[in-house]
């Protein structure tokens, strides 16, 4: 496994926080689009899909909020660590764990976004 410096890890955590914020903004836009459809005279099968996506987007927002909080906490714990670490105990928040969680977060969000874009044509720009 490639070793990274504390500075590189903190920069990556900051980049992930920005990415999670972008996801939160995109989810907001998707929810607004669903709201427009919900207020329209759409058929029942479309309304069922709207409800499906409303639930998924709500959960995505919750996960993004949790991820953002955990990234902030991880960055704080890593930056509070003394520079001269003598022992080899893993930190409470390990960078590797956050990296795995972020990989999963990104993958699941892209799947949701692709499914949403297939449901609502014209949203490929999101």
pLDDT in tens, the chain (126 residues): 455 688 899 999 999 999 999 999 999 999 999 999 989 888 999 999 999 999 999 999 999 999 999 999 999 888 876 545 444 444 457 888 999 999 999 999 999 999 999 998 655 455
Name the pTM for this structure: 0.80
Task: Tell me how many degrees the CA angle 38-111-70 measures, rounded to the nearest 5.
Answer: 95
- Write down the pLDDT at residue 31: 96
| Residue 48: Cβ-neighbour burial (10 angstroms; 0-12, 13-18, 19+) | exposed
- Write down the pLDDT at residue 79: 84
Rounded to the nearest 10 degrees, what angle do helices 44-80 and 95-119 cross at? 160
- Write down the pLDDT at residue 35: 93
């Amino acid at each position: 496994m490639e070793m990274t410096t504390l500075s590189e890890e903190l920069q990556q955590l900051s980049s992930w926080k920005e990415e999670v914020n972008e996801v939160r903004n995109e989810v907001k836009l998707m929810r607004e689009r669903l709201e427009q459809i919900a207020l329209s005279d759409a058929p029942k099968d479309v309304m069922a899909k709207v409800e499906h996506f409303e639930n998924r987007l709500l959960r995505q927002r919750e996960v993004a909020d949790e991820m953002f909080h955990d990234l902030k906490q991880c960055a704080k714990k890593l930056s509070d660590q003394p520079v001269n670490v003598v022992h080899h105990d893993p930190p409470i928040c390990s960078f590797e764990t956050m990296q795995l969680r972020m990989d999963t977060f990104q993958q699941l969000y892209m799947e949701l976004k692709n499914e949403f874009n297939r449901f609502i044509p014209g949203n490929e720009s999101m």
